[in-house]
Amino acid sequence: MLNGVRILDLTWVLGGPFASYLLAQLGAEIIKVEPPSGDLSRAFPPHFFEGDSAFFLSINRGKKSIALDLKNPQGREAFYDLARKADAVMYGFAPDVPAKLGLDFPTLHAINPKLCVAELIGFHDQGEYATKPSFDIIAQAMGGFMDLTGEAGGKPVRGGYQIADLGAGLYLALGLLAALFEARGSGVGKKIQTTLLDCQLALLTWQAQNYFVTGEVPRATGSRHATLAPSEAFLCADGKYIVVSASTQAHWPLLCKAIGRPELADDARFANPSARIANVDALAQTLGSVLRQQPAHYWVECIGQAGVPVGPVNNVAEALAQPLAGLRNMIEPLANPRSGAALNFLGNPIKFNGACELSYPPACGAHTREVLRDVCGYDAARIEQLERLGAVKASGVARP
């Protein structure tokens, strides 16, 4: 789908590399431009597979790695030569860094007018926020996510994974796709920018709109949906939880019949969606007392057969082992080309004909010589000279 699109990826750690990983899954050629020391996430503890951090492995399949010292004039010139043959550049530096490195949009646009630039930052590129350190948990906190997450009246809770980084990566990839589409027609590239905080605010969607309409501040409700009922997690006899979401009027009597309490469908407290929300605590107590009488798998089967939305609350191992993960090819084994040892990776959630097979995450600088030769047209002597000058690194693996 993105065959023939070449993207130079200077991002690191999570949000940016996740964005470029998505584009690799769509067929783009991603050239990961790393410092000679490698992406910091290569050394993230605590889990490693044959010297590579599990964190790094998770989001760097399907990429080539070239190691350049962009502070070295010769390394920067090599990058400019790459930019002349690329469609886009992605980076996630602090806002003032691109200009210091000569990688700001005006400089790159002068080198290649068709080049699109995608930038991921924390908060803003001006004033005091331009130098404010940004991390996923800070964006979750400032963006309202943590206050909406957790049990009612409890402490704010961070999301189980880095929703601020990953959400910003999704927006960054989408914005770059739009810029690339326009550049194909106009011949002129654009700069697009996302911030961790902007994307957290954008993901508030209906909660923010409810606040705009009512002035009421949304609050954490645990697993319970704020406006639909019943729609929450329930404890079963075996100590496991299921989630039931019989929130439409059509589903409600079906659920009542499936759990052996058909009379609840006519209970005035639960007769319609508004009544169920108004009496949600009584509703949850009533359903909970029934669902605690049988194990989770029993209710998943009974309620599911009735056509009511229901599912088990899986841990990560259970989620990856469920049959649907296999049916949808969401687990893909891949051999490390350096050793032959096999390792499972997550599959591509976007299904399309002719989907590309992504290669194993690269060693730092594994493709330096190949890229400089094939993309920039450098001969072996020039590449060796750049190595001697410390401008590029053409081999080796960053170790923890």
For β-strands 342-346 and 331-335, DSSP reports them as antiparallel
Distances in Å between the alpha carbon of 190 and those of 172, 183, 185, 240, 323? 13, 8, 12, 51, 43
- What's the CA gap between 24 and 19, in Å, rounded? 9
Q: Please confirm whether the linkage preceding 230 is cis (ω < 30° from 0).
A: yes
| Residue the block writes with tokens 């081999």 | 395
Torsion of Cα atoms, 152 then 154 then 155 then 161, to 10° = -50
Does residue 251 carry a catalytic annotation?
no
Nearest by Cα to 283 from 236, 246, 238, 258: 246
Nearest by Cα to 167 from 120, 225, 108, 117: 120
The residue type of 25 is Q
- What's the CA gap between 325 and 348, in Å, rounded? 11
Nearest by Cα to 30 from 15, 10, 56, 1: 10
For β-strands 52-53 and 48-49, DSSP reports them as antiparallel
Residue tagged active-site, from 47, 225, 297, 367 = 225
Distances in Å between the alpha carbon of 246 and those of 237, 284, 288, 306? 20, 12, 14, 11
Contacts of 400 (CB under 8 A, 6+ apart): 42, 43, 45, 48, 51, 53
| Contact of 69 with 383, CB cutoff 8 Å | no
For residue 99, give both structure tokens. Answer: 């200009």
Active site residues: 225
